[in-house]
Chain A
Amino acid sequence: MVRNIAKLSRDPFFVDAGEGGWYFIEPRSGDLKWGSALMRASKGLAFSLTPEPGGQLLRLQYADIVIDIGWTENAVDAANWVAAVNGFLVTKRDAAPPNGRIAPQAPTESAIG
Chain B
Amino acid sequence: MELVALVEPSKGLDLGHMVIGQELDDGASSYFGFRFDPADLPEEYRDPKRWQEYLYSNRILGSIDDDTHLVEKMRREKPDDLVEKRLGCDLPLAPYIPAPELWKHCAFYSFRPDDFHSDEEPCYNCVTWATMIGNKVVPGFLAPVRQGQIKLMLRQLAAANSNTGETDG
A residues engaging B (CB < 8 A)? Answer: 2, 9, 12, 14, 16-22, 24, 26-27, 31, 33-40, 43, 62-65, 67, 97-101, 103-104, 106-109, 111-113
The answer to whether B8 and A113 have CB atoms under 8 Å apart is: no
Interface size on B, residues (CB 8 A): 55
| Number of A-B residue pairs at CB separation under 8 A | 135
B residues engaging A (CB < 8 A)? Answer: 8, 10-17, 33-39, 43, 46-48, 51, 61, 63-65, 67, 69-70, 73-74, 77-78, 96-98, 100-108, 119-122, 124-126, 129, 132-133, 136
The answer to whether B120 and A62 have CB atoms under 8 Å apart is: no
The answer to whether A27 and B65 have CB atoms under 8 Å apart is: no
The answer to whether B11 and A19 have CB atoms under 8 Å apart is: yes
**With A and B bound together, what is the CA distance between A43 and B104 in angstroms?**
14
A34-B73 contact, Cβ under 8 Å, with A63-B39, A65-B46: no
20 contacts between A and B (CB under 8 A): A22-B8, A22-B74, A24-B70, A24-B74, A33-B35, A33-B70, A36-B126, A43-B39, A63-B46, A64-B43, A65-B38, A99-B63, A99-B104, A101-B101, A101-B102, A106-B121, A107-B61, A107-B106, A112-B107, A113-B98
